[in-house]
Amino acid sequence: MENTISVRIYDFLKHYPPFSLIDEETLMRIAQRVLVKYSPPDSYVFKQGEAPGKYIYIVKEGAVQLIREEEEGSVLIEQCDEGDVFGIRPLLAVEPYELSAKVMEESLIYAVEITGFEELLQKNPNISFYLARNFASGIRASASETYRGKLFLRKQELQEEEFSLTEVQQLNTKKAPITCLLNTSIQEAARKMTAQRVGSIIVVDLEQCPIGIVTDKDLRRKVATGLTPLNAMVSKIMSSPVRTLAPAVSYAEVQMEMVKHRIHHICITEDGTASTRVVGVVSEHDLLVVQGNNPAILIRSIQRARNAERLRAIRDRAEELMRKYLYQEVSIAFISEVITEINDALIQQVILLSQEELKQEGLAQPEAKFCWMTLGSEGRGEQLLRTDQDNALVFENVPESAYEATKSYYLQLSQKVTQKLHIVGFEYCPGEMMASNPKWCLSLQEWLEQFDKWIYEPTGEAVLFSSIFFDYRAVYGQLELAEQMTAHIFESIDERTMFLSFLAKSALRNPPPLTFFRNFVLEGSGDHKNEFDIKARAMMPLADAARVLILSKKVGQVNNTFRRFEKMAELEPNNKELFEQAADAYEILMRYRALQGIKNHNSGRYFNPSNLSKMERINLRNSFQPIRELQSLLNVRFQLAFLG
């Protein structure tokens, strides 16, 4: 009987972290020491202030609330359901429990004895990281920088697919190098290079150790110009010494070495030094060939594209690159920068192609210069997947007599641009917040007047528009126009500080869910009924909070949400931990949404909570935690109680 119970406990524990990270033999020993506790409603597993015992707990069935007792009353911190671990204080410290664990409905709870856990933590860093990440006071404060913005603990589970990034792949040195001896004539070396169709030849000694290198460039500059005769020895034109690396090197390392020393070829030797035999050579061209999805290559391809269909194919390649980055847990900060650069290059090329079309149609560009701006998630540099367009155009102020012709041209340009972006895969904005809409293709003065109207008359619609348009980012054209707009916004807010309170109140529209499955805010109707909206319920509360906070500090040119929080952490050291937690939370949410979008071939915005693994639920739950504190901070700072 005892053995059967232990097996059942083992079968349950193995599905939930941190127990899922423990080897079978050790977990079975732990399962044999587990106590099964039945707990009726309103009973306590432990109370705040009590000394910790020798157990940690996991909910088998039922629900347990973690509550902090304060003078004003009880504050619900978290609700635990099946598979949630709580009460790990005995593993972290000898201080009393900081929270009470109250049973809310009939529950079965496993009490796991901690004897031997300390040794287990030392041997298994994944378990230590899990406990620190999920139960200490803060997301970032408790975890190594190595794990910033990460969703997963066991990366090997993700890497079962062929997702190796070219940048980190080991160099392929199987191809035999083309070599010649020091006394070889230039003509003979050139014939050998031509026969083998290579752009370089390594000059070696009798032991096949590298002495120098002759490249196509050397032949053009030193021989074809008549400076050196064909019958001269290669020693006359070779470059020496040769830069060498060992075979166990990544493409990224080779690329960095080339950039560092401004060279185009690297010699690969047995031990990475010039005193051992040559085993290969890598050229800059080789790197470009294998790195077909390298961001720089993609951007170069975009700049050469002559139609929207070609641009769509390149954006598809960018999405595949992003997919690899995500599955290799490359930082979201890096991924968003890369995809933003690619998106910006796409927009710029689309504008150039559209201007050429208008020119061919006989429409001359007005003298008034313009600036194209992206808004919303793309304006914040956070649009990893192709979603709908949000953009606007500002053109220089012109005399009244030239206004109609100027606006007409820029509206036609905007229509062509939005049409092409639609072909590339960026859907039209359902709310028509695009430069092709006459309302959002305005002169500089019109934009300033529009901003003043929103700031001085902050109706619900005005605040909504502000939350979208105040994330604008200049992508093409006369960037100074956007800078003038930013300066004006700060001046107007200075005169009407109450506007920030309305913006802050809007940021409180969506309170964070407590946990999954219980008090979890799902869509109640429509196409996404019973699904969770990660954008509206989790990401936008963070983005809205970051926007109002950064505006209150008059900081321009910092659009990205997690960059805004990092800037706030720098500006307000007393709130540093909260802002850093919020930055990490937003990175995790961005990663998760992108992964869901790739998995389901959509924007990743909606998903069914029942399809989540326990680890995903825990990571997302942790990402919700800073939202409540941020909203509390906004409430106090902007005196929202007085707004009613």
Residue-wise pLDDT tens digits, 210-219? 999 999 889 9
153 pLDDT tier (thresholds 50, 70, 90): very low
Contact present, 486 and 555 (Cβ < 8 Å): no
Amino acid at 322: M
Pairing type for strands 265-269 and 244-245 reads: parallel
Structure tokens at 284: 């800059």
pLDDT score of 185? 95
Alpha helices (runs of H) in 553-643, residue ranges in sequence order:
561-571, 576-600, 614-637
pLDDT score of 386? 86
User: What's the whole-number mean pLDDT along residues 363-376?
Assistant: 95
pTM for this model (two decimals): 0.66
User: What's the whole-number mean pLDDT along residues 154-170?
Assistant: 42
Contact present, 129 and 147 (Cβ < 8 Å): yes
628 pLDDT tier (thresholds 50, 70, 90): confident
359 pLDDT tier (thresholds 50, 70, 90): very high
DSSP 1: -
pLDDT score of 155? 37
Contacts of 340 (CB under 8 A, 6+ apart): 378, 381, 383
289-301 pLDDT per residue, tens: 555 556 777 887 8
Angle between helices 332-360 and 295-304 (to 10 degrees): 10
Of residues 200 and 528, more confidently modeled: 200
pLDDT score of 18? 85
Report the distance separating Cα 644 and Cα 635, nearest Å: 12
Report the distance separating Cα 538 and Cα 514, nearest Å: 11
Angle at the Cα of 437 from the Cα atoms of 431 and 439, rounded to 5 degrees = 95
Predicted confidence (pLDDT) at residue 209 exceeds the cutoff of 70: yes
The winner for highest mean pLDDT among 116-130, 157-171, 559-573 is 559-573
Predicted confidence (pLDDT) at residue 350 exceeds the cutoff of 90: yes
43-79 pLDDT per residue, tens: 999 999 998 888 989 999 988 988 888 877 787 777 7
